[in-house]
Amino acid sequence: MGMLCYLLLLCLHMMIPCVFSQVKDFVSIDCGARGNYTDPNTGLTWVSDVSFNRYGNVVEFNTTNKISPQYRSYRYFPADNKKYCYTLPTTERKRYLIRATFLYGDSNFDDPYPMFEIYMDATHWSTVKIKDASRVYVEEMIVRAPSDSVPVCLCCASTGFPFISTLELRPLNDSMYMTDYEDNFFLKVAARINFGAMTINPIRYPDDPYDRIWESDLDQRQNYLVGMAPGTKRIRTLKNIKTSLREYPPLKVMQTAVVGTKGRLSYRLDLDGFPANARAYAYLAEIEDLGKNETRKFSMLQPSIPGYNDVVVNIAENANGSYALYEPSYMNVSLDFVLSCLFSKTRDSTRGPLLNAIEISKYVQIVPKTDSQDDAILDALRSLSSKGAWRHESGDPCVPAQWEWVNCSSTMPSRITKIFLSNKVLNGSIPMEIKQMNQLEELWLDGNSLRGLIPDMSSLRSLTVVHLENNRLSGQLPSYFAELPKLRELYVQNNCLSGNIPPALLSGKFIINYDANPGLNIIGGSGHQRSLRFILIVVSGTFVASIILLLGCLWLLRNRRRKSLKSESSEKYDSFRIVSKHSTRYSISRGASLFADENFDVACYISLSAIEEGTCNFSTKIGEGSFGPVYYGKMKDGKEVAVKISSDQSSHGTQQFVNEVSLLSRVHHKNLVPLVGYCEEDHQRILVYEYMHNGTLRNHIHDSEKKRSLNWLSRLLIAEDAAKGLAYLHSGCNPCIIHRDVKTSNILLDTNMRAKVSDFGLSKQAEENFTHISSVARGTVGYLDPEYYANQQLNDKSDVYSFGIVLLELISGRKPFSVEDYGSDWNIVHWARSLLRKGDISNIVDPSLIGTFKIESLWRIAEIAILSVEPHGVCRPRMQEVELAIQDAIKIEKGSKPSSGSSSSSSNVLALHVSFPSSQLEILSCNSSNNMNLPSAR
């Protein structure tokens, strides 16, 4: 062992690739390579995938010196409903690191970039989503091999086609990556970071004999590692370090570290696919020579893990000496999408915290494979033939896509319901074990050379269709078929069956064909039976023919739909490419995303310097929002942005800011202003939004010049857009988001005068800062829901109230709050309500609209606006109902809905009462006593 270590070190120092004991067990598959070769940089032997996979086609790139040989080609597969698998040889119960990589390269395909799924056995591994053709996407899974092979399958392309560049199998040493959960969970690697790295390149084989990839903390990928505490210093040593603990991190990784010279060490990174339960490891070794009376003691303040945050780490003590490994770990910890780490030295410690490396993996629940007995019988059937591509279908028979020749149940584990092996050159006898396939419904083994007896299938109670015709089967025709409750067809003609046909089979309950079995006798044979059989066959023949026709049509239709779906998704794709960013190199899926729209990514982190450059040092102020001042800017890629700077300089709530932003950035809707990125540096909190060229709705509606161009229909369209955005916040997001500050200055207009809602979701932040002044309600005077103001109970109806005010503004062109305009009433609500109650709409409507609208359309909006500003939240409609009312008004205005012909104002007041759906009638009655009948109290 000592000798081996010595050799190992020698190799490392001389950087000569040399063969370790593990290496002979490495499987390194270069997908699409023409032949086997040894990579001179690593000394690893790569084999072509020809012997692993017989499907797909190869794309080769023109050789450039920059990329390593295994990325000069890839194999791609058709975007069909099949799966394409590589089966890796394993030793049962041994642990492995399995890695798949994907480099799309600058292929000359016009198609959108691929997005597809990879599976390990029946377990979903990841969604591979290519956004940057020049980047190598890496997926890593640590598994304990369930059997003597592990299939890795690609399938289910939603854009482009499935492809793969390399597939690597790395055996791990016995102690490594053992968890209490490995019977039921795989480990999907989410982050493995080497701190204090010497170069930007990751460390892997031969430095790590297990060929793990240790990413460099110098890597500048966006959102990769941010939020580094001031005073962080990189340190390194050349001394040897004892690393022989459980996980054997490589020496080179342990020889570098970061220390917080000012007492703190902090980092933040995104964990794709989280929130989830994870296994988290820190690798620590004291690599500074501490003085006699010096100590390094620290504790972890974040993430907050019950029971762990008060634990004081003293590396040298914990590791029993300097230059020795200590591996504190959490075997099962629940982590969020944004991981913030914060270590802080204890008061009595003379040195700050130190960190050499971390590793975080997500637990992925293992999905059971198809029933093993069913699977074994399929294997037995497969071995009856030596011809045909169907025999090479690999992976699980059912998941993620079923083999061509079987159908499966949707149970877990899957069961086989249909075997379809007509005319497949099967030779031999039907396996006796078939009696265990008790979910089998259809068995098609006709047109082969099967011999021997018909096996016992009496326990297959679900059988409906059995086709054994045109074989060489012999022996008796079993009578149990008569007892199968669901049997509809039994075809055994043209075999070598003999003996008497059991009379029960001729009861006429199902179709039976036993022709051309020379030895078969009918007891008291009668022509009647034969003709019955004939009729049944003719009938079933036409039935089959029509089924085939129907299926043909369906197939055609399906193909068409697939095509149109494809073009749709590629359109969607184009729009998302604009907002895409580099996510962390590992997982690309967002399995546990909180929001429905999976096609978008989180906003990226933008450095302060980039923002300063983009805004010319904040030279063009374009507004002042509730968050703070807003500046115009232009990013490097030409994108115009609005940059909002928090006016709150307190250092509290930074964590909350980050969490909120990362949640917000995953809210995407075409009627919400998209968040492009954010920055949090030097106590500055900055949000970068897409720039909206036509400014706020407020500027348009209260500007005598601009409001002229805003006719009634365009106001309706703006209202519809804004209502959609708000409705999405209320019911499309989980958790539901309440805007809290709906007003015309938070509705922004793009170049086409379509509206997007802005400034949502940050409200929580604002309120959190004022928790000690509980009487402060957020909102803007004139828009503030009186109910919320009175009792601080916030719900979606507060937004509805504010939006009702916006609608009244759109109708009247007046400001919501003004002593001159409304006299003693003060606000637009009382003024509008009293006029509308009198049926007097002409005095409400914006003078610049007069004569340009249909009165019914205006009334529809007036009705919904007045309902929305009901004093009690329960009486107000939901946002979706408001949206529907606006769409109604648009239809009327566009003339697609016949107008009622009545233009007298009094009948319109009537309409106010009768045109609501019944659910709103209830609502109306709920406080009619003080609002509908009595004059306003003010």
Ligand X SMILES: *[C@@H]1O[C@H](CO)[C@@H](O)[C@H](O)[C@H]1NC(C)=O
With CB under 6 A as the contact rule, the residue among 3, 24, 51, 820 that binds ligand X is 51
Q: How far is the CB of 63 from ligand X (least distance, A)?
A: 9
With CB under 6 A as the contact rule, the residue among 40, 78, 321, 823 that binds ligand X is 321
DSSP readout, 10-56?
A: HHHHHT-----TGGGG-EEEETT-SS-EE-TTT--EEEEGGGT---S
Nearer to ligand X, 180 or 768 (CB): 180
With CB under 6 A as the contact rule, the residue among 64, 199, 293, 774 that binds ligand X is 293
Which position has the token pair 């509308």? 836
Asked if 65 touches ligand X (CB under 6 A), the answer is no
Q: Which stretch binds ligand X (CB under 6 A): 173-181, 441-449, 534-542, 785-793?
A: 173-181
Asked if 609 touches ligand X (CB under 6 A), the answer is no
Asked if 64 touches ligand X (CB under 6 A), the answer is no
State how far the Cα of 146 lies from the Cα of 150, in Å rounded to an integer. Answer: 8
Q: How far is the CB of 697 from ligand X (least distance, A)?
A: 47
Q: How many residues does the chain have?
A: 938
Q: How far is the CB of 896 from ligand X (least distance, A)?
A: 53
Asked if 62 touches ligand X (CB under 6 A), the answer is yes
Count of residues engaged in binding ligand X, rule: CB under 6 A: 20
Torsion of CA 92, 97, 98, 100, to 10 degrees: 180
Q: Taking CB under 6 A as the rule, which mask of x and - marks residues 779-818 in contact with ligand X?
A: ----------------------------------------
State how far the Cα of 94 lies from the Cα of 551, in Å rounded to an integer. Answer: 47
Helices assigned H by DSSP within 497-620: 527-579, 608-614
Q: Which stretch binds ligand X (CB under 6 A): 169-177, 252-260, 451-459, 770-778?
A: 169-177
Torsion of CA 15, 17, 21, 24, to 10 degrees: 160
Nearer to ligand X, 183 or 637 (CB): 183
Q: Report residue 143: phi and psi, to 5°.
A: -130, 150
Residues in region 259-288 near ligand X by CB under 6 A: 277
Q: How far is the CB of 176 from ligand X (least distance, A)?
A: 8
Give ∠ CA 130-131-136 in degrees, rounded to 5: 60
Q: Which of 121, 396, 741, 759 is catalytic?
A: 741
When CB distances to ligand X are compared, the closest residue is 277
Asked if 363 touches ligand X (CB under 6 A), the answer is yes
Q: What are the tokens at 549?
A: 């026709």
Which position has the token pair 């939020």? 227
Nearer to ligand X, 334 or 656 (CB): 334
Q: How far is the CB of 179 from ligand X (least distance, A)?
A: 7
The candidate with the shortest Cα–Cα distance to 100, out of 81, 69, 132, 75, is: 75
With CB under 6 A as the contact rule, the residue among 174, 183, 682, 705 that binds ligand X is 174
State how far the Cα of 573 lies from the Cα of 575, in Å rounded to an integer. Answer: 5
Nearer to ligand X, 363 or 657 (CB): 363
Q: Which stretch binds ligand X (CB under 6 A): 174-182, 373-381, 423-431, 693-701?
A: 174-182
Nearer to ligand X, 345 or 418 (CB): 345
Asked if 47 touches ligand X (CB under 6 A), the answer is yes
DSSP readout, 446-494?
A: -SSEEEEPPP--TT-TT--EEE--SSEEEE---GGGGG-TT--EEE--S
Nearer to ligand X, 49 or 883 (CB): 49
CA dist 418 → 225, 383, 460, 482 (Å): 51, 18, 12, 20
Q: Which stretch binds ligand X (CB under 6 A): 170-178, 621-629, 771-779, 832-840?
A: 170-178
State how far the Cα of 628 lies from the Cα of 97, in Å rounded to an integer. Answer: 49
Asked if 87 touches ligand X (CB under 6 A), the answer is no
CA dist 540 → 328, 543, 549, 605 (Å): 70, 5, 14, 66
Strand partners, 187: 142, 363
Q: How far is the CB of 13 from ligand X (least distance, A)?
A: 17
Q: Report residue 118: phi and psi, to 5°.
A: -120, 145
The candidate with the shortest Cα–Cα distance to 589, out of 153, 276, 926, 835, is: 276
Q: Is 726 exposed, middle or buried (0-12, 13-18, 19+ CB in 10 A)?
A: buried
Nearer to ligand X, 1 or 937 (CB): 1
Nearer to ligand X, 89 or 847 (CB): 89
Q: How far is the CB of 168 from ligand X (least distance, A)?
A: 14
Q: How far is the CB of 516 from ligand X (least distance, A)?
A: 47
Q: Taking CB under 6 A as the rule, which mask of x and - marks residues 19-38 in contact with ligand X?
A: ----------------xx--
Q: How far is the CB of 279 from ligand X (least distance, A)?
A: 8
Q: Which residues contact 817 (CB under 8 A, 6 or more apart)?
A: 781, 782, 826, 827, 828
Q: How far is the CB of 174 from ligand X (least distance, A)?
A: 4
**Is residue 741 among the annotated active site residues?**
yes
State how far the Cα of 39 lies from the Cα of 641, in Å rounded to an integer. Answer: 46
Q: For residue 625, how many other CB atoms are within 10 A of its CB?
A: 20
Q: Report residue 515: phi and psi, to 5°.
A: -55, 160
Residues in region 95-114 near ligand X by CB under 6 A: 108
Which position has the token pair 């995953």? 666
- Cβ burial 445-470 (10 Å sphere, 16+ → b, else e): bbbbebeeebeebeebebbbbbbbbb
Asked if 173 touches ligand X (CB under 6 A), the answer is yes
Per the CB < 8 A criterion, the answer to whether 423 and 446 are in contact is: yes
Q: How far is the CB of 52 from ligand X (least distance, A)?
A: 9
Asked if 63 touches ligand X (CB under 6 A), the answer is no
Asked if 181 touches ligand X (CB under 6 A), the answer is yes
State how far the Cα of 340 lies from the Cα of 490, in Å rounded to an integer. Answer: 66
Instruction: Map residue 427 onto helix, strand or coil.
Output: strand
With CB under 6 A as the contact rule, the residue among 84, 102, 161, 185 that binds ligand X is 185
State how far the Cα of 602 lies from the Cα of 677, in Å rounded to an integer. Answer: 8
Nearer to ligand X, 261 or 277 (CB): 277
Q: How far is the CB of 138 from ligand X (least distance, A)?
A: 23
Asked if 689 touches ligand X (CB under 6 A), the answer is no
Per the CB < 8 A criterion, the answer to whether 188 and 364 are in contact is: yes
Nearer to ligand X, 277 or 795 (CB): 277
Residue type at position 134: S
Nearer to ligand X, 174 or 820 (CB): 174
Asked if 40 touches ligand X (CB under 6 A), the answer is no
With CB under 6 A as the contact rule, the residue among 64, 65, 320, 617 that binds ligand X is 320
Asked if 824 touches ligand X (CB under 6 A), the answer is no
With CB under 6 A as the contact rule, the residue among 26, 37, 55, 248 that binds ligand X is 248
Nearer to ligand X, 290 or 781 (CB): 290
Nearer to ligand X, 173 or 907 (CB): 173
DSSP readout, 864-889?
A: HHHHHT-SSGGGSPPHHHHHHHHHHH
Ramachandran quadrant class, 396 (left: phi over 0; alpha: psi -120 to 50; beta: rest): beta
Q: Which stretch binds ligand X (CB under 6 A): 168-176, 504-512, 739-747, 789-797?
A: 168-176
Q: What are the tokens at 624?
A: 């002042």
Q: How far is the CB of 47 from ligand X (least distance, A)?
A: 4
Query: Which residues of this chain interact with ligand X, rule CB under 6 A?
Result: 1, 35-36, 47, 51, 62, 108, 173-175, 181, 185, 248, 277, 292-293, 320-321, 332, 363
Catalytic residues: 741
